[in-house]
Every structure is written in structure tokens, then in C-alpha cells.
Amino acid sequence: MSLGLERPILPYKNIKILFRVALSLFLWVTPGLSQKTQPEDSSLPKYDLRAETKTKGVIDEVNLLSLGTRKDFMELIIKNGDDKIHIYVCPKPFEEEMGISFSKGDQIAVTGSKVKHEGADVILARELVKGEDTLLFRDGKGTPVWDARTGK
């Protein structure tokens, strides 16, 4: 005699399928959730292809500056006549890995994006020519060619 209170039992096969689906979803979703994305730093200047310019001059100063989360970003200040132009080049680890160096008095030509950073005009170097060497720091879209995490 049945009172109608019994629940239908799922067949063993259905439980097994549901378990596999749940496990698969868990395994697919977990790695995506655990990856940390680098926060977009709004204080960093953005490369603007429309503002690309070319300039040349003699290096007057070589500096390391703090830029966003980096404490080791290479800046060159060049003289072109009476003008001093600030060139943001790359992180120091990238410079070292490439085996390049810059010194006061070096003659260079730069292609890059002229942008405002903290109220001042700066050029974000995409390509730099020093002597016979042409050095690329950004691709054709202005994206840095170094790794944002390591600076290399």
C-alpha cells in the first residue's frame, strides 16, 4: 500500500552523468577564476597612433623613473636645438636583456607617440635608431614588446 509520499529514485546512470557534468564545469571554471589579471593602471600614458611623430637629438640625460607600478622605467631626455624632449623608452630589465645602453652624448632618432603625462609632453618610443642599430620597443599598434609583469 502506497500513500503517494515516495519520491522517484533517479536511475544510477543519471546520477553518474550529472556528477560528470558538475565536475567538468568545476574543472573548466576554476582555472579562469584563479588567474589574476593585471589591473589597468590609469596613470600610465597610452600610445596613440594618431599622435605618432619623429624626432632626433643628442641624449642629455638618462634617468630611471617610476611609471605606474614600475620603479625602473628608462627615460631619455634629448636636446634638439634649445628644446628638451622627454622620451619614455622601456623598463630597465628589457634594456639589459636586449644588451643595449644609452649614454649622454649619444645621437638618436626616435619614432613614437607624443602624449601628455602628468601635464607634460612626452614621447613613448616605438622605434629608436642609435648609430647603425634600429631598436623596436613597441609593435605597429603601439603595444609594448616587453612583458608587463617582468619588464623583460
pLDDT digits over 39-62, tens only?
445 557 899 999 999 999 999 999
Q: Classify residue 41 by its DSSP letter.
A: -
The CATH number for 115's domain is 2.40.50.140
Q: Is residue 75 part of a domain?
A: yes
pTM score, two decimals?
Answer: 0.72
Q: Report the number of distinct structural domains present in the chain.
A: 1
Q: Is residue 112 part of a domain?
A: yes
Q: Taking 50 as the threshold, does the pLDDT of residue 37 lie above it?
A: no
Whole-number pLDDT of residue 67: 84
Whole-number pLDDT of residue 22: 56
Q: Is residue 123 part of a domain?
A: yes
d(CA 97, CA 135): 13
DSSP class per residue in 114-140: EEEETTEEEEEEEEEEETTEEEE-B-T
Q: Is residue 42 part of a domain?
A: no
Q: Is residue 120 part of a domain?
A: yes
Domain with 95, as residue range(s), is 49-136
Q: Is residue 104 part of a domain?
A: yes
Q: Is residue 100 part of a domain?
A: yes
pLDDT digits 0-9 by tens, 68-109: 788 899 999 999 999 999 999 999 999 999 999 999 999 999
Q: Taking 70 as the threshold, does the pLDDT of residue 64 lie above it?
A: yes
Q: Classify residue 35 by its DSSP letter.
A: P
Whole-number pLDDT of residue 32: 56
Beta strands in 29-144 (DSSP E): 52-67, 70-80, 83-91, 107-117, 120-130, 133-136
Q: Is residue 40 part of a domain?
A: no
Whole-number pLDDT of residue 82: 92
